Structure 1
Amino acid sequence: MSQQTDPRLAAQQVVAGLCAPGAPFELESDEVLGAPVQVFVRRRRALHELLADSVQHGERTYVATLEERLSFAQHAAMVSSLAQALREDHGVRRGDRVAIAAANTTEWIVTFWAVTSIGAVAVGFNAWWSPRELAYGLEHATPVLVVADEKRRAALEGATVPVLGLDDVRRLAAAYPDAPLPSADVAEDDPAVILYTSGTSGRPKGATHSHRNLLSVVEYHRLNDAILGAFGDPTDPRDRSYLLAMPLFHIASLHNLAVPRLATGSKVALHLGAFQVDPVMRLVEQERVTNWGAVPTMASRLLEADLSGYDTSSLSAFALASAPSSPQLKQRLRDHLPFASSLVDSYGLTESCTAVAVASPLDLAEAPGTLGRPIVGVEMEIRGADGQPVPAGVEGEVCVRSAYNMLGYWGDEEATAGALREGRWLHTGDLGTFDEQGRISLSSRRSDLIIRGGENVYPAEVEAVVAEHPDVAECIVLGVPHPDLGQEVGAIVVPVPGADLTDLEDRLRTHAVDALAYFKVPSRWRIAATPLPRNATGKVVRRDIGF
């Protein structure tokens, strides 16, 4: 009589073995910035060490697009040359910020490695920002240099900081062919990256990530490869190919794909431009993509497309990330996409650098709305209004602590203190519950957050812009359900007395387009005849308002 093995128990035992004392992914408690945190013992300490290690992968492909292929050796040479040029030709020093304002390109990745390998800080500007938002980024991060593609370079015309185009990057990446691999005397908790979140209080905040943060994420991904191997997957991690179709100025693409793949010797299949099914599927086919992490909007578009003409046989792992998705969408994916049969889901945020919880196929089968359990190295608590942990089934704020947590918000001590509190616990602002199995489900995300096609939109930022219009007395911005994007942005506007209502909606839209990235501009508008409802303290009662 055969014995049935509990897959969850088996997985726990495998992970425990890999993370045990003396094991490859040994964990220990260490003091990080004054708080006890679980860290990987055998981690690298600086990003330039990963670059140096990557040379061993030689002529294997690191980055491939539909038109170009870049080997690990070529990449290391380009980064070395560009790093020397940044130092000698442009005076970039340790701690200086270098902003990257560009859509996905190989130059984006090469620039990132050159900047961080000399101890400078790579600042990822949102490529969809308006000229006004770009000007704010320059003022806020004070970079000594900007690397921009042609579209963003035109928007930066008149900037006082030097701006290099992508053609300049290519030239400088070949200017010093004999340049040594770059390095820098940096500490683990020195800043390495700044990525912007949409502003909860009207302006984007720069989540600042350290070398420790990114290198901890690398070890987490290497551990995942080791877990697959322990369960009998014979695939050499170097033979995996990962689709990168989301922007590099997000943690999903940069921290959790481009960076760890340099460490594991795997291939990055880089999609250029906006998401379109045909070029993406041709890239999947051409580069034999094995792993794909998609936002729900991408997944929905795959369901609507005819994929019968594409070879998807290489795809073995398909995951949802970056935005909530319904159990119904997950089931449709399993039913109609062969490569989504073992679908996984996750929960993370820019401030945490990677997922803080992951739901396995078994978790989703047992509890369709769950986001799974905390990942290795993450402490998670659900806390009540008194700041104390609450039991399973009771709603509270999701709080997490780990070596993945950001340093703080660049130049914003008040916001940092609000997010990272005593013991460096990150207060996410998200509400959720644990079930009896230790799995988390969210009841709301950062109160009024709108997630449009995987992009976060905070109403306060959009409201601040709309309220600047002279015909607006007050306004409120809400998320409106959308079949493709998940949500779209809607604005309800109360005009000032006597305002000219002729074409007011069009004039408001034009005003918003000039100040906001396109995905933040409301696509639904309603001109209200009465003031917005408010409670006794004067706050707008959002639940009483809708379209």
Structure 2
Amino acid sequence: MTASGPQAAQEIVSRLTGPGGEFEMAVDDVLGARLPVFVHRAGSLGEVLSASLRHGDADYLVTEHDRLSFAEHGAAVASLARVLRTGYGVGPGDRVGIMAANSPGWIIAFWATVSLGAVAVGYNAWWSPRETEHALGLTTPTVVVADHKRAPALREAGVTVLSVEDDLPEITRRHPDTPLPDVTVAEDDPAVILFTSGTSGMAKAVVHTHRNLTSVIEYHRFNDAMARAFGDPTDPTARRYLLAMPLFHIASLHNLAIPRLATGSAVVMNLGRFEADRVLRLIESERVTNWGAVPTMAHRLMEHGDLASYDLSSLTAFSLASAPSSPEFKQRLRETVPFAKNSLVDSYGLTESATAISVATPADLEQAPGTLGRPVIGVEVQIRDETGAVLPPGQEGEVCTRSAYTMAGYFHDPEATARTIGPDRWLHTGDIGLLDEQGRLRLASRRSDLILRGGENVYPTEVEYVLDEHPAVAECVVLGVDHPDLGQEIGAVVVTRDGAAVTERELTEFCRQRLAHFKVPCHWRLTASALPRNATGKIIRKTITL
């Protein structure tokens, strides 16, 4: 008999996480704060990697043209790790960069790096040269694994590069019988650095530790156990997860590629641009069971129309991530896309949080449209006012959270870390929201005036700083413009200096040279009139239109 209802769910959680349970939790010290932790977590990602060999010939990485078993992946990682150590001197604490489009080589490079106790740095493959230069100078990698598109510019910058296409195929086969590294690391040693757009200036480098990531693994294993307890007979090793978002985001790396190595599940990778027909054919041919998509992808599915011509019967779990979507959008999605009808899940998280802060189940979305659900296992959430006081349910304030998943801090930026993580490891998200009487989270507004374009964060201030560098610009404001496919596009209102002559085309090219393509405005209004400001001199964004 299948358990159901809130009381049954709580009983299952208590059994799984209580004393002696498979996912037993206890309070322990994490970077100076007492936090709930999984007692039986792995001690490091190296342990996770070694344990994955037990899955043998089962698929781990699958693309349209190739597949790599867990055993083959382990051998490739061991060979590359040996070359990184003996040929390039990579050791504990050193940084190894990865700047490439998604590929099995990206993931192999990640695991080889962390197996040495080194730190894998996932650079945004869409960055402009200036953004790349900033990130390289901040993280000083010993070597960077890059694809053909990015490697030439990196070499010109004096960086030691290993090519995904030319070097990795030979290196990963060079030492077929070498064992995986046996390196001792502390749980709170850094394992990976990913970047998040800064509210001012350049992107910040988010440091996640071995503990962060082994905890995320346990969170996903716990979810699998909950599904079994509620009657899902599927063995986790039989699940096949579609990876369609960039690996330099937590959605693909932390919450897909990494935990699925531990659970023995296949990662089915869409390579290149998202094209609905090709992705649907991949789901059909590889019998994909789970897919986490950004709303832009979901919108393209709805626009595609002829979904009935594909066999999508294997797809039983579908979630939205990385960008907000309205209740109306979700309802249209359920009505249009068959596999979303009874399985749609939404979530809320940040790069800094490593995984979801809260998750809304299908029942949550039905009972409270617009909710982002309840905090996930091991996560605490508080709503605070401007003074830091905790607010009761129903009152809006800043969303603050803490857990063993939360980043250690920003790399080489103690001031930004101190502004974001307060005493007792509380992470200040900058988002405004509330908790309802049932403990479900709802957001009132995103951080600052954050624009989300196709799942990518764009902070207006960063774009405004670039525009301010142009000699013809007196002042400017950057806004989100609604778009049916991408969610939002970037718009800019520019006040030109007296006598200055500048065109939209000139400003577009100026931005292209300094920003990733998704941050470049495509809607413009050039004016000689000053921007509206309040009594303190701040621009009143809400009154400005394109």
TM-score range normalised by the length of the shorter chain:
over 0.9
Matched position secondary structure for 1:15 = helix
RMSD: 1.2
Give the corresponding residue for 2:283: 284
**One-letter code aligned to 2:285:** Q
CA distance in 1, matches of 2:3, 2:351: 37
Residue 29 of structure 1, aligned match among 2, 27, 30: 27
Give the corresponding residue for 1:322: 322
Give the corresponding residue for 2:73: 75
CA distance in 2, matches of 1:163, 1:390: 51
Matched position secondary structure for 1:393 = coil
Residue 113 of structure 1, aligned match among 102, 105, 111: 111
Matched position secondary structure for 1:126 = coil
Give the corresponding residue for 1:417: 418
CA distance in 2, matches of 1:293, 1:10: 27
CA displacement at 1:171 relative to structure 2: 1.5
CA distance in 2, matches of 1:4, 1:127: 45
CA distance in 1, matches of 2:4, 2:175: 56
Identify which range, 401-410 or 382-391, moves more after superposition.
Answer: 382-391
CA displacement at 1:157 relative to structure 2: 3.6
**What does 1:174-213 correspond to in 2, within 5 Å?**
174-213=173-212
CA displacement at 1:4 relative to structure 2: 12
Give the corresponding residue for 2:274: 275
Please give the per-residue CA displacement for 1:352-401, whole angstroms capped at 9, x wherever unaligned: 00000000111111100100000000011001112011011100000001
CA distance in 1, matches of 2:167, 2:182: 22
Give the corresponding residue for 1:63: 61
Matched position secondary structure for 2:88 = coil
Give the corresponding residue for 2:349: 348
CA contact (8 A) 1:119 1:183 kept: no
Matched position secondary structure for 1:104 = coil
**One-letter code aligned to 2:480:** G
Residue 164 of structure 1, aligned match among 149, 162, 183: 162
CA contact (8 A) 2:43 2:214 kept: yes
CA distance in 2, matches of 1:354, 1:234: 25
CA contact (8 A) 1:147 1:165 kept: yes
CA displacement at 1:172 relative to structure 2: 1.1
Please give the per-residue CA displacement for 1:190-231, whole angstroms capped at 9, x wherever unaligned: 000000001211110001000000110000000011011111
Q: 1:283 to 1:230 in 2, by over 3 A?
A: same
Please give the per-residue CA displacement for 1:229-267, whole angstroms capped at 9, x wherever unaligned: 111111110000000000000000000000000000000
CA distance in 1, matches of 2:154, 2:535: 45
Identify which range, 5-14 or 86-95, moves more after superposition.
Answer: 5-14
CA distance in 1, matches of 2:145, 2:137: 16
CA contact (8 A) 1:65 1:272 kept: yes
**One-letter code aligned to 1:371:** L
Residue 134 of structure 2, aligned match among 123, 133, 136: 136
**One-letter code aligned to 1:244:** L
Give the corresponding residue for 2:508: 509
**What does 1:370-449 correspond to in 2, within 5 Å?**
370-449=371-450
CA displacement at 1:532 relative to structure 2: 1.2
**What does 1:220-299 correspond to in 2, within 5 Å?**
220-299=219-298
CA displacement at 1:9 relative to structure 2: 2.2
Give the corresponding residue for 1:335: 335
CA displacement at 1:327 relative to structure 2: 0.6
CA displacement at 1:537 relative to structure 2: 2.0
Matched position secondary structure for 1:89 = helix
CA displacement at 1:5 relative to structure 2: 7.6
CA contact (8 A) 1:452 1:485 kept: yes
CA distance in 1, matches of 2:27, 2:3: 31
CA distance in 1, matches of 2:9, 2:489: 39
CA distance in 1, matches of 2:181, 2:288: 31
CA contact (8 A) 2:250 2:355 kept: yes
**What does 1:350-365 correspond to in 2, within 5 Å?**
350-365=351-366
**One-letter code aligned to 1:214:** L
**What does 1:411-490 correspond to in 2, within 5 Å?**
411-490=412-491
Percent same amino acid at aligned positions? 62
**One-letter code aligned to 2:23:** F
CA distance in 1, matches of 2:184, 2:2: 53
CA distance in 2, matches of 1:190, 1:169: 27
CA displacement at 1:308 relative to structure 2: 2.1
TM-score (norm 2): 0.98
CA contact (8 A) 1:94 1:120 kept: yes
CA displacement at 1:133 relative to structure 2: 1.2
Identify which range, 162-171 or 395-404, moves more after superposition.
Answer: 162-171
Matched position secondary structure for 1:147 = strand
Give the corresponding residue for 2:498: 497
Identify which range, 526-535 or 109-118, moves more after superposition.
Answer: 526-535
**What does 1:300-315 correspond to in 2, within 5 Å?**
300-305=299-304, 306-315=306-315
CA displacement at 1:105 relative to structure 2: 0.4
Matched position secondary structure for 1:490 = strand
**One-letter code aligned to 2:375:** P
CA distance in 1, matches of 2:536, 2:413: 27
CA distance in 2, matches of 1:209, 1:4: 38
CA distance in 1, matches of 2:36, 2:485: 40
CA distance in 1, matches of 2:43, 2:537: 50
**One-letter code aligned to 1:518:** H
**One-letter code aligned to 2:488:** Q
CA contact (8 A) 1:131 1:156 kept: no
Identify which range, 4-13 or 396-405, moves more after superposition.
Answer: 4-13
Structure 1, unaligned runs of 5 or more: none
CA distance in 1, matches of 2:6, 2:109: 41
CA contact (8 A) 2:247 2:253 kept: yes
CA displacement at 1:528 relative to structure 2: 1.9
Q: 1:267 to 1:4 in 2, by over 3 A?
A: closer
Matched position secondary structure for 2:11 = helix
TM-score (norm 1): 0.98
CA contact (8 A) 2:473 2:496 kept: yes
Q: 1:6 to 1:171 in 2, by over 3 A?
A: closer
CA distance in 2, matches of 1:476, 1:184: 50
CA displacement at 1:466 relative to structure 2: 1.2
**One-letter code aligned to 1:337:** V
CA distance in 2, matches of 1:520, 1:157: 25
CA displacement at 1:6 relative to structure 2: 5.8
Matched position secondary structure for 2:156 = coil
CA displacement at 1:335 relative to structure 2: 1.1
**One-letter code aligned to 1:107:** G
Matched position secondary structure for 1:150 = coil
CA displacement at 1:274 relative to structure 2: 1.2
CA distance in 1, matches of 2:312, 2:2: 32
Give the corresponding residue for 1:366: 367
CA displacement at 1:272 relative to structure 2: 0.3
CA distance in 2, matches of 1:199, 1:345: 25
CA contact (8 A) 2:3 2:229 kept: no
CA distance in 2, matches of 1:512, 1:4: 57
